[in-house]
Amino acid sequence: MTKTKITPEEALAYHLEPRPGKYDVVASTPMATQRDLSLAYSPGVAVPVQAIADNPATAYDYTVKGNMVAVISNGTAILGMGNLGALASKPVMEGKAVLFKRFADVNAIDIELDTEDPEEIIKAVSLMGPTFGGINLEDIKAPECFIIEQRLKEIMDIPVFHDDQHGTAVICAAGLINALEISGKKIENCKIVLNGAGAAGIACLELIKTMGARHDNCLMCDTKGVIWQGRTEGMNQWKSAHAANTDARTLEDAMRGADVFLGVSAKGAVTPAMVASMADNPVIFAMANPDPEITPEEAHAVRPDAIVATGRSDYANQVNNVLGFPYLFRGALDIHARAINDEMKIACAKALAKLAREDVPDEVAMAYGRKLSFGRDYIIPTPFDPRLIYVIPPAVAKAGMDTGVARRPIVDLKGYEQSLKARMDPTASILQGIHARARQAQARMIFAEGDDPRVLRAAVAYQRAGLGKALVVGREADVREKLEASGLADAVRELEIVNAANSRHLDQYKDFLYQRLQRQGFDRHDVHRLAARDRHVFSALMLQHGHGDGLVTGATRKSAHVLSLINHVFDAKASDGAVGVTAVLHKGRIVLIADTLVQEWPEPEDLATIAIRAAGVARNLGLDPRVAFVSFSTFGYPVSERATKMHEAPKVLDGRKVDFEYEGEMTVDVALNPDVMAQYPFCRLSGPANVLVVPARHSASISVKLMQEMAGATVIGPILTGVKKPIQICSTNSTVNDILNMAVMAACKMG
């Protein structure tokens, strides 16, 4: 798989724009009127204050405590970068906070404590207990992290969880359960070697021993070799607890005949010779980041029978903490847990292992561009599996209830699963899936407007994200100058810059264009001017002749004008069946609106075609299409001359025998609100519509732009569909990210 390259400029821009940092705090209740404010603050707030004073457990009912986690660090062990201090750790902790929200809908706030004194941290965190439902400790160095976590667990009545320790341990345990099943071994019989006696390593070994591994079968190694009974050099109480009765003194000694290797140490710590000396069907978890102790290629070269996992997303079997901590906390918070205990961690590991053995949904396999099925290259679920949110927390919650740490047990676990499904944000997984498919496609993407800095930045991002090759149409000197001005001078040599003035294909392009346009009033001179001087036409000709796989344009000229130019090369008119579909993403919902680009005033036959094209885009996005023909009237009332064609369009589809749900005509609230839709029991839609076919291009445009400006919806499109080759047309106010998204759509052949 192609590696992703992220530049310092991109990373800083991501954290700077559109506002500094990575999250906002927004009100979840109305705040508009004087009455709202009187309820939110004085005098209304006095009522829940008294209720909590009378019964502290009601804090979970009347405040955010029950869905709020503190992400706390002092910056002494930042992401393998070391001790850079509390302030420098803030971007990491903000990132952790947004991962909680993204994957498990847990609200999280980052808190950086400017001290290296464990007693001060223990005091500070313990005093925050009333505010939070859980504490996630992060990037605190060993051995202080052990002292801090243990003491906080003893004195606080909410879960305290050091993710660097237990997060890694849980995912490692999940992978190990499946790896041992595949290799036909039992954990109690395995010889296990751990390299790296820090926080994560010690936690991994402790959890594995809790699951049945025998003490003297587990050899822990650090930079000075094996930790054996009687060793005094470089020891502490946490290492001593894992000292084994063994003659082995070096990692090389330990690896001989080992069934399992767990690495949380450093790049290159394991040699091919060490792997070769392991037992049959060895399990190797080389989890050092960013580079593993040994790469899967190196391990498999000497031991094809090895099952290998790493911490990296560009190899199979990624040990990724995001598979654990969001869901552990989700389950713990939902039972108002006093702690996250070993039983809850093991339940999480077993649920993850079980999920990896189940059939993988098509949309997950499609997102990763390959068939995923339980086996040596798939022992751990992928982080973007949508089932995680409703499979893992119930297992964690049940274990918490069974072990007595739940303040409020969940009676209806099935109902709980359904509530978790409702928390899922389909938009994020859809976008992730599209990007993964584009990365698999490796399309050569033509960026037509190489004179625009936004387009150039998007082209660089496309290539550096490992999505494929970026072909930029423009003059080399101009491209270089604009990239330098954008702080991307080093990207010039990475991009392929195509200039019509020195293209060896120009005569071929002109011959094609003349054949196409000679009976439309264009002579040879007109054709030369179009092919050689208009970058939109030249780019379309490149695509037509297979000199690129997709085309992105429209950032510098109005879309109608760009479409008219593309029509010189492709059949992209309404009469050709071309349609523009815009995806509107808002508050966890995605709705497609069509036609937003091509069809000015479609008649019933055209509306039926638009519905078919839009349903195709929906399926490409991983949605099951439910199409509503929307109008001013609902099922014939009130009678409206303009609504008649929307009434007729479903009848046209009836005759075309399509394989998706459709209904109409109806108002937008009937289409999108299940309670309103229920007033029409004869409606053929099984749920809210996710595709809206509107009466005209102007109403489509108004709808999309109103959602964008008033509601802050994310808009992707219009996605051009019904054209022979993948062409996507941006709007003139597109951001770099918008242009990149359109390139991804083209790469996925979304049209």
The residue-averaged pLDDT of 295-301 equals 96
The predicted-structure confidence for 131-171, as pLDDT tens digits, reads as follows 999 999 999 998 999 999 999 999 999 999 999 899 999 99
When the pLDDT of each residue in the chain is averaged and rounded to a whole number, the result is: 93
Q: How many Å from the N-terminal Cα to the C-terminal Cα in the chain?
A: 25
Nearest residue to 457 via CA among 479, 433, 426: 479
Residue type, 452: D
Binding site for a divalent metal cation, by residue number, is 138-139, 164, 289
Tell me the CATH number for domain 36-158. Answer: 3.40.50.10380
- What are residue 162's phi and psi, to 5 degrees? -90, 105
Fold of 577-719: Rossmann fold (3.40.50)
The residue-averaged pLDDT of 546-556 equals 96
Name the 3-class secondary structure at 22.
coil
Q: Distance (Å, rounded) from C-alpha 101 to C-alpha 91?
A: 16
Beta bridge partners of 691: 592, 627
The predicted-structure confidence for 141-150, as pLDDT tens digits, reads as follows 989 999 999 9
Residue type, 738: D
Do 295 and 137 meet the contact criterion of CB atoms below 8 Å apart?
A: no
Residues 6+ apart with CB under 8 A from 674: 687, 688
The DSSP H or E segment spanning 467 is none
Q: Distance (Å, rounded) from C-alpha 455 to C-alpha 552?
A: 9
**At CA 557, angle to CA 553 and CA 560, rounded to 5?**
90
The predicted-structure confidence for 601-651, as pLDDT tens digits, reads as follows 999 999 999 999 999 999 988 889 999 999 999 999 998 877 899 999 999
What's the DSSP call for residue 228? B
Spell out where 532-672 has E strands. 550-553, 579-586, 589-594, 626-630, 661-666
Q: Distance (Å, rounded) from C-alpha 22 to C-alpha 90?
A: 10
Token pair, residue 645, equals 């064609």
Confidence of residue 372 (pLDDT cuts 50, 70, 90): confident
* The pLDDT of residue 662: 98
pLDDT at 254 over 60: yes
* The pLDDT of residue 719: 93
The CATH architecture annotation of domain 437-568 reads 3-Layer(aba) Sandwich (3.40)
The residue-averaged pLDDT of 9-20 equals 87
Q: Distance (Å, rounded) from C-alpha 339 to C-alpha 154?
A: 10
The predicted-structure confidence for 78-93, as pLDDT tens digits, reads as follows 987 899 999 999 999 9
* The pLDDT of residue 443: 96
Binding site for NADP(+), by residue number, is 78-85
Percent of all residues in the chain with a pLDDT value above 90, rounded to a whole number: 81
Question: Could you tell me the CA-to-CA distances from 263 to 192, 194, 269, 295, 320 in Å, in that order?
Answer: 11, 6, 9, 12, 14
Name the 3-class secondary structure at 689.
coil
Binding site, by residue number, is 78-85, 138-139, 164, 289
Q: Distance (Å, rounded) from C-alpha 370 to C-alpha 647?
A: 42
Please indicate whether residue 379 or residue 421 has the higher confidence score (pLDDT): 379
pLDDT at 366 over 80: no
Do 59 and 50 meet the contact criterion of CB atoms below 8 Å apart?
A: no
pLDDT at 507 over 50: yes
Name the 3-class secondary structure at 76.
coil
* The pLDDT of residue 424: 76
Token pair, residue 367, equals 């997102």
The residue-averaged pLDDT of 645-667 equals 95
| Residues with active-site annotation | 96
Token pair, residue 195, equals 């390299």
Beta bridge partners of 337: 406
Give me the residue spans of the domains in the chain. 36-158, 166-316, 322-423, 437-568, 577-719
pLDDT at 4 over 90: no
Do 693 and 610 meet the contact criterion of CB atoms below 8 Å apart?
A: yes
Q: Distance (Å, rounded) from C-alpha 13 to C-alpha 291?
A: 26
Nearest residue to 580 via CA among 565, 602, 550: 602
pLDDT at 470 over 70: yes
Residue with tokens 């009545």: 157
- What are residue 147's phi and psi, to 5 degrees? -65, -50
Beta bridge partners of 283: 260, 307
**At CA 712, angle to CA 708 and CA 715, rounded to 5?**
45
Q: Distance (Å, rounded) from C-alpha 145 to C-alpha 83?
A: 13
Q: Do domains 166-316 and 577-719 have the same CATH topology?
A: yes
Residues 6+ apart with CB under 8 A from 116: 74, 76, 144
Tell me the CATH number for domain 322-423. Answer: 3.40.50.720
pLDDT at 362 over 80: no
Tell me the CATH number for domain 166-316. Answer: 3.40.50.720
Spell out where 474-618 has E strands. 496-498, 550-553, 579-586, 589-594
* The pLDDT of residue 1: 45
* The pLDDT of residue 9: 81
* The pLDDT of residue 364: 72
Q: At what angle do helices 453-464 and 736-747 cross, to 10 degrees?
A: 50
Rg (C-alpha) for the chain, rounded Å, is 29
